[in-house]
Amino acid sequence: MPFLIRSACLTGYIELARSLAIDPLRLLREAQIDQSCLVDPEIKVSADAVHRLLEESASIAGIEDFGLRLAETRRISNLGPIALATRDATTLRGALEASVRYMPLHNEAMVLSLEAVGGKTIFKIDYITDHATPGRQGIELCVAVAHRFMRQLLDDDWRSLPVWFAHSPPADMTTHLRMFGPWVEFGQACNGILLEESDLELPLAGADVAMARHVKQYLEPLLAQVNITVSEKTRRLVYDLLVLHRASVDHVASCLGVNRRTLSRQLARDGETFSSIVDQVRNDLARRYVGDQKLPLNDVAHLLGFSEASAFSRWFRAEFNCTPMSWRALTTDQVARS
Output Rg (C-alpha) for the chain, integer angstroms: 20
Rounded Cα distance between 187 and 169, Å, is 8
pLDDT of residue 138: 92
Q: What is the mean pLDDT of residues 242-261?
A: 83
| 227: pLDDT strictly greater than 80 | no
Rounded Cα distance between 316 and 323, Å, is 6
Does 79 or 26 have the greater pLDDT score? 26
| Whether the model pTM is above 0.85 | no
Of 21, 19, 49, give the one whose Cα is nearest residue 35: 49
Express each pLDDT in 92-124 by its tens digit.
Answer: 999 999 999 999 889 888 889 998 888 899 999
Q: What is the mean pLDDT of residues 130-143?
A: 80
User: What CATH number should be reported for the domain whose range is 230-337?
Assistant: 1.10.10.60
Confidence of residue 1 (pLDDT cuts 50, 70, 90): low
Express each pLDDT in 156-169 by its tens digit.
Answer: 677 778 999 999 99
| 132: pLDDT strictly greater than 60 | no
pLDDT of residue 141: 95
Please, what is the end-to-end C-alpha distance for the chain in angstroms?
31
Of 115, 134, 99, 112, give the one whose Cα is nearest residue 223: 99
Rounded Cα distance between 179 and 229, Å, is 37
Express each pLDDT in 195-225 by its tens digit.
Answer: 999 999 999 887 888 888 888 888 888 887 7
CB atoms near residue 245 (< 10 Å): 11
Confidence of residue 338 (pLDDT cuts 50, 70, 90): low
Task: For residue 124, give the H/E element and its range.
Answer: strand 120-127
CB atoms near residue 268 (< 10 Å): 12
Q: What are the distances in angstroms from CA 231 to CA 126, 192, 203, 239, 260? A: 18, 25, 37, 12, 13
Express each pLDDT in 279-325 by its tens digit.
Answer: 999 998 998 888 888 889 999 998 898 989 999 999 999 999 999 99
Give the domain ranges of the chain: 4-200, 230-337
Q: What are the distances in angstroms from CA 53 to CA 66, 106, 107, 134, 146? A: 11, 18, 16, 10, 21
Confidence of residue 90 (pLDDT cuts 50, 70, 90): very high
Q: What are phi and psi of 115, to 5 degrees?
A: -135, 145
Rounded Cα distance between 48 and 154, Å, is 32
Does 1 or 226 have the greater pLDDT score? 226
Residue 182, amino acid: P
Q: What are the distances in angstroms from CA 23 to CA 16, 64, 76, 304? A: 10, 18, 28, 37
Residue 270, amino acid: D
Confidence of residue 337 (pLDDT cuts 50, 70, 90): low
Computed over every residue of the chain, the mean pLDDT equals 88
Q: CB within 8 A of 12, min separation 6: which ones?
A: 70, 73, 74
